Each structure stands twice: as structure tokens, then as C-alpha cells.
Amino acid sequence: MDKITEMYTTVNANVHRGVHFLSQAATEEHEASRRTVQQFINAASADEIVFTRGATESINMVASSFCSRFCTEGDEILITAMEHHSNIVPWQLQGEKQGLKLRVAPINEEGELLLDELEKLISTRTKLIAVTHISNVLGTINPIKEIIQLAHRHDIPVLIDAAQSVQHTKVDVQALDCDFLVFSSHKIYGPTGVGVLYGKERWLNAIPPYQGGGEMIETVTFEKTTFNKLPYKFEAGTPDYIGTAALATALDYVSALGIEEIAHYEHELLTYATEKLLQVPGLRIIGTAGNKSSVISFLVDGIHPYDMGTLLDRMGIAVRTGHHCAEPLMRQLGVDGTVRASFAFYNTKEEVDLLVKGILRIVKMF
Ligand code: PLP
């Protein structure tokens, strides 16, 4: 918030547009933010970092630009059963335009991806695999490095949805060798309305722009337009340079805390909360993968998730309830929705105790 105020009060001018002081200062901030993101995910070049409105927009960009360039009727996009709607619907929308099919890799009862089944679904028509790093419902941490290696053996590029992972675990795009990766600023303590699309330079160069407008062009005539170099080709219009500066500030903050330390502490909270919650009579945890992030979805016998959520809210405890933007997953799990407690580095064991106490009170009431 301090960074946002600083930007609005000291360097508020449009980027890449003027030789005047404020425009240059804002441009320098915006490009420095891009380098911060590059370093945070260890991209090979800042040109591989495209600023977007969020993970959702980033996936829509890839669905539209990648598929229009590389897919033809009958081609397939492979996703998993635990995807967020934002990694399902963009492929369906594009699929309708081009006659593409969506293939879905199944999960087991614990909420783990069945890698063998995923591999069986790969065909000569598979053009891209899009998979979440961490499930927002189950907390499952997918073996994305293995998936990427497997996909590359078949010459298939991979998009990683890192919306739920960059804030909880180290993400190194070069070590992973992923082709695209997306995340949202607001889930990593930055402002809303900003996000990132990482793409390997060769892919970003190979696919057409998603939107047209100012900034993204090299020359324009009424007959033909040539496009700007990366990453500007994908950043039509005025970017949210205030938001990107604040995102970079948030990333610096997370880096200063140490992502490994965050992961370690959150895992401790997860273990503690899991043990405590399992002591509640009738409570069932949905998502019990061996490798889990610090979210716990649960149901308590005879208590609707909305009732649980509403009553916990009265006690000042915020949990998510419902389908968590993953309706197909809910259907597969045979539930309408769940209650989900998510733990971040700022949560404490005392807060876990309060949550458990609250649930026990509600169980008694029912
Ligand atoms: N992917 C996952 C796994 C998510 O949990 C979310 C949001 O909850 C998204 C994508 C979409 O993020 P956004 O709404 O910030 O675009």
C-alpha cells in the first residue's frame, strides 16, 4: 500500500510514452518490477515476463494465442480433474471456436493425480498439457517436474497454473523447464488486478498477440501492422504500472521472509491443523495427498458447508465454502462443496486451536 501511494504521488505517468521525467521514472519502475518477477521465478530473461490482469487472463491468453497458432480441428488439450475453472473454461471457449477436445487426467481417492493415466491420454493430437501446480481445493502438490519431463518426451509443451504455489513454495521455471506458467499478484500479497504470464521466449515469439492496441505495435498503417518485440507484443494498452510496482514490492517481501522458511512453517501448521481437525467427531478431510500444501478442505457429518462457514464467520473465522471454482472436481468427489481453511505464514497454532474450538461448538449446536 505504501508503494502504491508512493507511485501515485511521485511517478504517476504513462510508461513507454514520453521523454519527460515522470514517464521515464514510471517506465524504469515498471521494467524493474519485471526484473523482480524474472528473478523471483528464475526466468532466463525479463522478456519472458508478460504482465496481465491475473492468472485467469494469462491462461486465456495462452488458450487463444497458442491454440490459434498451433491447433487444428480434432486436436486435444490435456488437463487434470483438479483444475480451477480458470484452467478449464478458456480451453473450452477456444475449443468451441476451433473444434478442439478437452481430455482430463483422473485422480485417486486421496486427490493425487494418476500419472500413468495422464500418460495414457497423450496422443498425437495432444497439443498442450495445462496443469495446476497446487490444487486450491485439495492442497495436492502435483509432481509437475515429472509431468513436464513426460510431456517433453512426447514433444508437448506444458502450462503450469502456479496461482496457488508461488506464495507457498519455490518455483524455478528454468529448473522445471515449463513452457508457460501463470500466477496472480493478489494471492502473493500484492494488489488485485495484476498477474503474470511467463512463457519461454521461443513460444512467445511464435504465437500471435492476444489483444491489439497501443504499446504492442512496431509500426501501424491502415494496411498492415507489425508488432513490438517481447514482452510488449502481449501488453496492449496502458499497463497497471502502479500494480506491477506493488507486486514487485510484495515479491521482495516474500523473498526477504524466505520462501523455504514460509514453506517449512506452513507445513508445520498443516500437520498441526490436520491432527487437531481429525479429532473432531464426524469430520472428514477431502484431499489427503502425501504431498500437500497448507489448505484443508473438510466436511462434518450432517452440517452443510454454508452453515459451517456462516457460523464460523460469526466467531470471526474466515473460511471458504462451496465449490471453490472447481465444480467438475466436486462432482467427481461426490460432494456439493466443502469448507476450506487455508493457512499462510502469518497464521498461528493458536488460530488453528480457535478454528477447532469453533467447529466443536458448531458440532454441539447441531
Ligand atoms: N488457478 C487456481 C489454482 C486458483 O486457485 C485460482 C483462483 O483461486 C485461479 C487459477 C484464478 O486466479 P485469478 O482469479 O486470480 O485469476
Successive 10-residue mean pLDDT values, the chain, 366 residues: 96 87 94 98 98 98 98 98 98 98 97 97 98 98 98 98 98 98 98 98 96 86 88 94 98 98 98 98 97 97 96 97 91 92 97 98 96
| Segment 116-123 long-range contacts (CB within 8 Å, at least 24 positions apart) | 118/78, 118/80, 118/147, 118/150, 119/150, 121/78, 122/78, 122/150, 122/151, 122/154, 122/156, 123/76
The pTM assigned to this predicted structure is 0.97
Residue 136 beta carbon below 6 angstroms from any ligand 1 atom = yes
- Whether the CB-CB separation of 101 and 74 falls below 8 Å is answered with yes
Beta strands per DSSP E along the chain: 49-52, 76-80, 101-105, 126-132, 158-161, 180-184, 195-199, 217-220, 225-227, 283-286, 295-300, 320-322, 338-342
Q: Tell me which of 67, 71, 178, 325 is the catalytic residue.
A: 325
Q: How far is the C-alpha of 115 from the C-alpha of 318, rounded, in Å?
A: 34
CB-count exposure of residue 366 (10 Å: 0-12, 13-18, 19+): middle
- Nearest ligand 1 atom to the CA of 134 is 3
3-state secondary structure at position 213 = coil
Residue 54 beta carbon below 6 angstroms from any ligand 1 atom = yes
Residue 84 beta carbon below 6 angstroms from any ligand 1 atom = yes
Residue 64 beta carbon below 6 angstroms from any ligand 1 atom = no
- Whether the CB-CB separation of 295 and 342 falls below 8 Å is answered with yes
> Which of 86, 169, 185 gets mutated to test ligand 1 (max ligand atoms within 8 A of its CB)?
86
Phi-psi label, residue 297: left if phi above 0, alpha if psi -120 to 50, beta otherwise: beta
pLDDT at res. 18: 77
Look up 178 and say whether it is catalytic: no
- Nearest ligand 1 atom to the CA of 136 is 5
pLDDT at res. 221: 87
* Ligand 1 centroid to residue 212 C-alpha, Å: 25
pLDDT at res. 66: 98
- Nearest ligand 1 atom to the CA of 83 is 3
Residue 86 beta carbon below 6 angstroms from any ligand 1 atom = yes
User: Diameter of the chain by CA atoms?
Assistant: 72
Nine cell digits for residue 247:
507486486
Residue 342 beta carbon below 6 angstroms from any ligand 1 atom = no
Q: How far is the C-alpha of 344 from the C-alpha of 173, rounded, in Å?
A: 23
* Ligand 1 centroid to residue 23 C-alpha, Å: 32
pLDDT at res. 218: 87
pLDDT at res. 340: 98
Residue type, 203: W
What is the residue with the minimal CA distance to atom 5 of ligand 1?
Answer: 136
pLDDT at res. 228: 86
SS (H, E, C) 338-355: EEEEECCCCCCHHHHHHH
- Whether the CB-CB separation of 250 and 188 falls below 8 Å is answered with yes
Architecture of domain 2-257: 3-Layer(aba) Sandwich (3.40)
- Nearest ligand 1 atom to the CA of 54 is 16
pLDDT at res. 19: 85
Residue 167 beta carbon below 6 angstroms from any ligand 1 atom = no
Residue 111 beta carbon below 6 angstroms from any ligand 1 atom = no
Q: In what order do the strands lie in the sheet with 283-286?
A: 283-286, 295-300, 338-342, 320-322
* Ligand 1 centroid to residue 60 C-alpha, Å: 12
pLDDT at res. 215: 81
Size of the chain in residues? 366
pLDDT at res. 346: 97
CATH number of 259-365: 3.90.1150.10
pLDDT at res. 219: 87
Residue 355 beta carbon below 6 angstroms from any ligand 1 atom = no
Give the domain ranges of the chain. 2-257, 259-365
- Whether the CB-CB separation of 308 and 321 falls below 8 Å is answered with yes
- Nearest ligand 1 atom to the CA of 161 is 1
